[in-house]
Copies of this chain bind each other. A is one copy, B any other.
Amino acid sequence: MIAEAAKDTLRQRGIRLTRQRQLLLDLLDKSGQHLDAEALYQMAHQKDPKLNRVTVYRTLKLLKEGGLVDELDLMHYTGDQHYYETRTKQEHAHIICLRCGKVEEFYGDPLHKLRRQVESMFGFQILIARTEVGGYCAHCQVLRSQEVELARRTLAEAGAVEGRKPARKKSS
Q: Interface residues, chain A, CB within 8 Å of chain B?
A: 71, 73, 75-76, 80, 93, 95, 97-98, 104, 106, 108-111, 113-115, 117-118, 121-138, 141
- Copies of this chain, how many? 2
Q: CA A73 – CA B75 in complex, angstroms?
A: 10
Q: CA A95 – CA B124 in complex, angstroms?
A: 9
Q: Among A93, A110, A122, A138, which residue has the most Cβ atoms of chain B within 10 A? A: A110
Q: CA A145 – CA B109 in complex, angstroms?
A: 31
A154 to chain B, nearest CB (A): 16
Find chain B residues with CB under 8 A from A141 CB: 123, 125
Q: Which residue of B lies closest to A112 (CB)?
A: B110
Q: CA A2 – CA B104 in complex, angstroms?
A: 34
Question: Which of B97, B108, B110, B118 is the one whose CB lies under 8 Å from A133?
Answer: B118
Known contacts A73-B73, A95-B118, A109-B113; A133 and B123 CB within 8 A of each other: no
